[in-house]
Amino acid sequence: MIVVCNTSPITNLAAIGHLSLLQQLYIIILIPEAVFRELVNVSSPVPGTQEVQTLGWIQTQSVVDRELVISLEQELDPGEAEAIALALELHADLLLLDERRGYRVASRLNLRVQGVLGVLLAAKFRGLISSVKPILDEMIDRAGFWVSQNVYTRFLEQAGETTH
């Protein structure tokens, strides 16, 4: 399975010590160079900075179609643009991406897209975690992950959990 990942799933899961869920679910995660730069070329380390430089299952790959990247950058940031372009080039089975604009563009290009909430659901249904609520709450509290109350409630219902 070919899985390409943008920055946010890495930073959100790394911030709460659950980055390994990506490896458990997908074995290898590919990130474009722009995502690597977003995580590494920062004035102070962010969650995931160390991991993308040291974990062998997170692999950086160059995007060949620079014209596509430039076109996508008209509406997206460089990481999202390269993640979408790389997913298209590799005929990826899955693109991990959380940002709404990027999600819309990737869907329009017929990519299968999943956000970090989808990762948590997959982990629960595969038996890797017993409950999504404490992990989601921790992402909200510690990683600054934002989700509307409506999405929060619907997500927990999908997972077979309650908000209490």
Strands (E), 74-142: 94-96, 113-114
60 phi, psi to nearest 5 deg: -90, 135
Q: 26: domain CATH number?
A: 3.40.50.1010
The two tokens of residue 98 are 């959380």
Could you tell me what percentage of the chain is helix, strand and coil, using 3-state DSSP and rounding each to the nearest 5? 55, 10, 35
Contact yes or no for 111/91 (Cβ under 8 A): no
Tally of domains in the chain? 1
- What pTM, to 2 d.p., does this model score? 0.94
In the chain, % of residues over pLDDT 90: 95
Read off the pLDDT of residues 54-101 as tens digits, 9 standing for 90 and up. 999 999 999 999 999 999 999 999 999 999 999 999 999 999 999 999
Q: Is residue 42 part of a domain?
A: yes
Q: Is residue 155 part of a domain?
A: no
User: What distance in Å separates the CA atoms of residue 131 and residue 155, rounded to the nearest whole number?
Assistant: 12
Residues of the domain holding 50:
3-117
Nearest to 112 by CA among 89, 85, 91: 91
Q: Is residue 59 part of a domain?
A: yes
Q: Is residue 80 part of a domain?
A: yes
